């Protein structure tokens, strides 16, 4: 009775190990292709250098739509198409002015600020007012109820905690100030909001990013201030609570503009109506070149499919590289993609996002459901030789999040996070901050994950 069981076991084991070896070999080919003939860096370099910033509604965003469409067409993907959407159209206008004024110690001191995305402007006369510094919502409430916020600029100065190893976690515990600060301050009669830039580092340049105005609350101007200048302002305020701040911003929101998601496909040979999506977002902030955020994720998504195609891989399911538009200030692309998918009854087997920068890959964020998560984690031995070893965090990314209600397992590329917030939403997010090998390894890791999901599913 033992023998047949043993035989079956041995057969199963040897089949499994043959598959393992075949997978190992194919994944090796994927990485070899990315490291010897990879195109991700050149595509990103073109996008950063020749197109530059790509804020939703800008000519740069339109150029990036057309450029990535052409790249995927040129690679010979089975179909490349545009998915029309309307996007918010916010413009920064003339550079902002920020000054500490009437400080006892320094008199007038210019500081580096930038408008938060979506903010109203100050008007040409600017805003001149006293400053109230807060580090928590409780503090704001207390001061507000004491009438000490009215007519003032509220300065949100809770830092991104540098001690937190995963910088995205530290970001998550500070970004509420940027998102909600303006409206929360306005509820107590503030005339403007200044928010400490989202960075754990001492820096002279500010970080932009979107805010959300609450309904039925006056919209007040809101700016980010460089961390070094936030520290300066805080020190000066401690000495001299009566100093004033001058803020001038010329930003405004124009009518919504037409734009697109860009989709490239490799058609599935067995289940063409089942989809695996890899994507990043094509829009960027207007400062810098959007190299890491998220040009990297876009070119890696295209590259993942290019690699599989160039290796002659015939996918079972249809593979899609999606350049989502408008992640930064609206998520219109992600929402429309999910809406249209539901309407067409498309079955999505998985969606993988790369929106954490083009740094050396260390793992993947994994689906929240037990079975899919276990499946992804079981592939760790296949990816560990490439430094991809961390499969502990759950979740996907913003653009693919609207697919969650359809039960789509969501994953994300997890690159090393240490450098990300040195560049995020700043003029420093440029192509010279991207390393060719790190970018290529991320693209290869995504291609390998697509291959494994295509072959084995996530059930």
* Contact between 287 and 114 (Cβ < 8 Å): yes
In the complex, the smallest distance separating the C-beta of residue 436 from a second copy, rounded to whole angstroms, is 6
In the complex, the smallest distance separating the C-beta of residue 20 from a second copy, rounded to whole angstroms, is 19
Find the part of the chain contacting a second copy (CB under 8 A) among 157-165, 268-276, 367-375, 448-456: 157-165
φ, ψ of residue 100 to 5 degrees: the values are -80, 130
Helix (H) or strand (E) holding 266: strand 252-266
Lay out the site mask for a second copy across 344-383 (x = CB under 8 A, - = otherwise): ----------------x-x---------------------
Angle at 370 between CA 366 and CA 371, to 5 degrees: 95
Helix (H) or strand (E) holding 430: none
Considering only the C-alpha atoms of the chain, give the largest distance between any 2 of them, rounded to a whole number of Å: 93
Helix (H) or strand (E) holding 444: helix 436-456
Q: Which is nearer to a second copy, 3 or 163 (CB)?
A: 163
- Provide the Cα torsion 229, 230, 233, 234; round to 10°: -140
CA 318 remoteness from chain centre: 25
Q: Would the CA dihedral through 427, 431, 432, 438 be positive or negative?
A: positive
What is the number of alpha carbons within 13 Å of residue 429 lying toward its C-beta? 31
Q: Would the CA dihedral through 335, 64, 171, 253 be positive or negative?
A: negative
**Within 10 Å of residue 173's Cβ, how many Cβ atoms?**
12
Distance CA 409, CA 458 (A): 8
Residue 385 near a second copy by CB under 8 A = yes
In the complex, the smallest distance separating the C-beta of residue 445 from a second copy, rounded to whole angstroms, is 12
Residue 135 near a second copy by CB under 8 A = no
Residue 387 near a second copy by CB under 8 A = yes
Distance CA 346, CA 30 (A): 28
Find the part of the chain contacting a second copy (CB under 8 A) among 28-36, 205-213, 237-245, 334-342: 28-36
Distance CA 241, CA 290 (A): 38
In the complex, the smallest distance separating the C-beta of residue 383 from a second copy, rounded to whole angstroms, is 11
Lay out the site mask for a second copy across 172-211 (x = CB under 8 A, - = otherwise): ----------------------------xx----------
Residue 119 near a second copy by CB under 8 A = no
- As annotated, the active-site residues are 327
Residues of span 31-60 touching a second copy by CB under 8 A: 31-32, 35-36
CA 455 remoteness from chain centre: 28
Find the part of the chain contacting a second copy (CB under 8 A) among 163-171, 225-233, 295-303, 309-317: 163-171
Residue 148 near a second copy by CB under 8 A = no
Query: Could you tell me how many residues of this chain bind a second copy (CB under 8 A)?
Result: 25
Residues of span 393-452 touching a second copy by CB under 8 A: 416, 418-419, 422, 435-438, 441
Q: Of these, 148, 187, 380, 389, which contacts a second copy (CB under 8 A)?
A: 389
Supply 20's token pair. Answer: 């393992």
Residues of span 57-116 touching a second copy by CB under 8 A: none
In the complex, the smallest distance separating the C-beta of residue 336 from a second copy, rounded to whole angstroms, is 36
Residues interacting with a second copy, by CB under 8 A? 31-32, 35-36, 162-163, 165, 167, 200-201, 360, 362, 385-387, 389, 416, 418-419, 422, 435-438, 441
């Amino acid at each position: 009775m033992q023998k047949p069981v043993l035989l079956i076991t041995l057969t199963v084991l040897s089949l499994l190990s043959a598959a393992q070896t075949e997978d190992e070999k194919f994944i090796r080919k994927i990485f070899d292709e990315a490291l010897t003939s990879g195109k991700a860096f050149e595509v990103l370099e073109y996008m950063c250098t020749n197109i530059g910033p790509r804020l939703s509604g800008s000519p740069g965003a339109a150029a990036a739509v057309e450029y990535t469409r052409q790249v995927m067409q040129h690679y010979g993907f089975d179909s490349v198409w545009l998915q029309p959407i309307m996007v918010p159209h916010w413009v920064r206008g003339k550079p902002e002015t920020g000054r500490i004024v009437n400080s006892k110690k320094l008199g007038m001191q210019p500081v580096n600020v930038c408008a938060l995305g979506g903010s109203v402007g100050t008007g040409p006369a600017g805003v001149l007012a006293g400053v109230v510094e807060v580090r928590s919502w409780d503090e704001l409430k207390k001061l507000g109820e004491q009438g000490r916020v009215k007519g003032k600029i509220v300065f949100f100065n809770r830092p991104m905690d540098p001690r937190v190893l995963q910088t995205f976690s530290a970001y998550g515990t500070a970004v509420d100030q940027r998102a909600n600060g303006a409206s929360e301050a306005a509820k107590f009669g503030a005339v403007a909001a200044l928010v400490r830039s989202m960075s754990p580092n001492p820096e002279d340049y500010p970080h932009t990013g979107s805010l959300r105005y609450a309904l039925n609350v006056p919209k007040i101007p809101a700016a980010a201030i460089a961390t070094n200048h936030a520290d300066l302002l805080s020190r000066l305020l401690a000495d001299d609570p009566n100093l004033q701040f001058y803020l001038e911003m010329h930003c405004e929101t124009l009518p919504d503009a037409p734009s697109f998601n860009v989709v490239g496909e490799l058609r599935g040979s067995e289940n063409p109506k089942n989809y695996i999506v890899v994507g990043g977002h094509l829009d960027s902030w207007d400062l810098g070149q959007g190299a890491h955020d998220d040009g990297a994720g876009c070119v890696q998504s295209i590259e993942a499919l290019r690699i599989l195609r160039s290796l002659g891989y015939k996918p079972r399911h249809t593979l899609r590289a999606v350049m989502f538009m408008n992640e930064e200030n609206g998520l219109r692309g992600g929402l429309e993609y999910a809406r249209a998918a539901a309407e067409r009854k498309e079955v999505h087997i998985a969606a993988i996002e790369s929106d954490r920068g083009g740094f050396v890959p260390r793992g993947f964020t994994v689906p929240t459901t037990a079975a899919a998560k276990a499946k992804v984690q079981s592939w760790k031995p296949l990816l560990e030789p490439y430094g991809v070893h961390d499969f502990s965090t759950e979740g996907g990314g913003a653009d693919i999040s609207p697919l969650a209600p359809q039960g789509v397992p969501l994953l994300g590329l997890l690159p090393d996070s240490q450098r990300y917030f040195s560049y995020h939403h700043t003029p420093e997010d440029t192509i010279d901050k991207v390393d060719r090998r790190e970018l290529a390894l991320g693209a290869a890791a995504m291609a390998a994950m697509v291959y494994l999901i295509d072959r084995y599913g996530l059930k």
